[in-house]
Amino acid sequence: MQNTGQPLAKINDVSDDFAELRKNDAIYVDKTDFVHKLVSDRNSNIVFVSRPRRFGKSLTVSLLKNLFAGRRELFRGLAIEKTDWKWLKHPVIHFDFNGMTVETPEKFGMEMANHVHDRLARAGFTCDTTRSAAENFAQAIETLAEKSRRDAKERPREIAKGVVILIDEYDAPVGHALADVEKAEKIRDRMSSLYAQMKSRTGDIRFLFMTGVSKFTKLSVFSALNNIKDVSLLDPYATMFGYTEEELGRYFEPHMRVHAAKMGLSYEDYRTEMKLWYNGFRFARNVETTVYNPISVAYTLKNMEPHFTATWATTGRPSMLMNFLKREDMLKINPEAVEDVDAAEFDVAELNNLSAIALLFQSGYLTIRDYEPLTESYTLGVPDEEVRRDLCTLMAGVAARQSNAWAASLGKKLLNAKWPKFFEGLQSLYAAMAYGSTEGSVHENSYGRCLSFLLAGCGFRFRMEDVQASGRADIVADHPALTCIFELKVGEPVDVAFRQLREKGYADPYRASGKPIWLIGLSFDRETRKLVDCAARPLEA
């Protein structure tokens, strides 16, 4: 489809309100075929799904709220309108636990109670202020379900039996509090007392849908509701959240053609680059189709910058991940290929023994790359370029026990060839790695990996142990502005590194680029692990 010069359709990049989106004629990538499949399965009417942030979970909850309210007018032209859905009204209880204060368990308890009582009132239930939030929730389920049964008898073409419960970001308060595990456990217990009220009342529940980033298996909702259906990694729902390549073309082609012209790219080259930047998330073991992050597509096509940029990262990092990052765990991970991961690692059981791999996967920094049926194990990797850059900046900062802004500024010094300042910062980075109670657990290749994090975070495409005819260069980092070839030595002077760089001709394959090429030697002390000598020399023609 060519751009005809007509005004482009509105792109939704902020609102999670399905009704507002539809009333404003904003683009909605139709996922109602998946929704119909979920709500029509009476054998599994209790559903949980986990996805990284900004993947459309809250919009789906809002869609379900309007669906069960019988608002057929909002679904005109969508896939579900062509099905046998009856458009009957149900009482709907909708909780959203994102953004709640977790300063103390007591303050959280008060805010949770206020939120629960407010949402129960919206559903048509009058709370008893002398009773707890959990007690009111239990009574609300029973009362609203009984009322729906009476109303359904009187108005069977309008009202259906049973309560619909929608819980958005069910795990957010626990994740926000993970910096203090004891506090997180107390908050988890308070939420468990609320969720436990559904156990003996499943007969009153027509449909229960919960979203979150993580699956905290010790929350009572998972132990109490033994018939809960976790669709997070099920093949039929692999592309329910996010946009496939086909959906991107169907809904956004006019926008992409305008953006491609602004960037000076052919449409085909534009699609290739966009896929590299934003498409790579895979959510099923047997379905290899990958999807785009919706917010990345929205921001990119709405802002139409003259180049692709990291957009998802600008919306903020998940507090669960930020609260638990450990330097020693991060430096052991090669995020490009995390192999032999068991499915059990995707869930969280003990809050005081969290896995860095699980947190990175659940928060969207790692995704499924491959699945081996014989061993029932996964290979994980970084989804796309924007996530890679954010992750590498994040990991470089963690490795140095510095802020991410510090790591990013160090990368800029490298790009501008400000060598004295760059090496000063690099020495600080490695000095921070060299000491502490965890020193013995730092992997031997952590020096090269930490540097690679820094390079990727500021836009370099890098290769570790770049295989050439004459040997292997430790790190080759390529950027539109320059190429840097690093040789790292332990217990040997930096001159040895430069002699190897020259004799092996590691720069030869990159001469034809016409870009500046820098040879960089780094020398580390074997005992202290400090960076003790470093230099950069331009490649002579």
Question: Residue 160: which CATH number?
Answer: 3.40.50
Residue-wise pLDDT for 410-457, tens only, equals: 888 888 899 999 999 888 877 766 444 344 444 445 678 778 777 877
356 domain residue, yes or no = no
Is 0.75 surpassed by the pTM of this model? yes
On whether residue 10 sits in a domain, the answer given is no
Domain endpoint, select from 204, 232, 260: 232
Q: Which residues pair with 211 in a beta bridge?
A: 49
DSSP-derived 3-state class of residue 380: strand
Domain boundary pick from 232, 251, 276: 232
| pLDDT score of 441 | 41
The angle at the Cα of 46, spanning 44 to 50, to the nearest 5 degrees, equals 115
pLDDT at 480 exceeding the cut of 70? yes
**Residue closest to 407 by CA, chosen among 461, 357, 473, 452:** 452
Question: Is position 138 within any domain?
Answer: yes
Q: Tokens 């009704």 appear where?
A: 19
- CA pair distance 359, 348, nearest whole angstrom: 9
Task: State the Cα–Cα distance between residues 136 and 141, nearest whole angstrom.
Answer: 9
- From 232, 253, 268, the end of a domain falls on 232
Strands, E assignment, 437-530: 461-468, 471-478, 483-490, 517-524
309 assigned to some structural domain: no
> Residue 352 domain-assigned?
no
Q: What is the pLDDT of residues 84-101, one digit of tens each?
A: 999 999 999 999 998 888
Q: Is 414 left (phi over 0), alpha (psi -120 to 50) or beta?
A: alpha
Q: Could you give the number of structural domains in the chain?
A: 2
Q: What proportion of the chain, given as a percentage, has pLDDT over 70?
A: 88
- The total number of residues shown for the chain amounts to 541
Which residue range is the domain that position 89 belongs to? 31-232
Q: Decide if pLDDT at 324 tops 70.
A: no
Cα gap 206→225, rounded to integer Å? 14
Residue 436 identity: G
Q: Does 249 reside within a domain? A: no
Residue 304 lies in a domain: no
Tens digit of each residue's pLDDT (9 = 90 or more) over 159-168: 999 999 999 9
- Domain-located, residue 320: no
Q: Average pLDDT of the chain?
A: 87
Confidence of residue 299 (pLDDT cuts 50, 70, 90): very high
What CATH number did the domain enclosing 534 receive? 3.40.1350
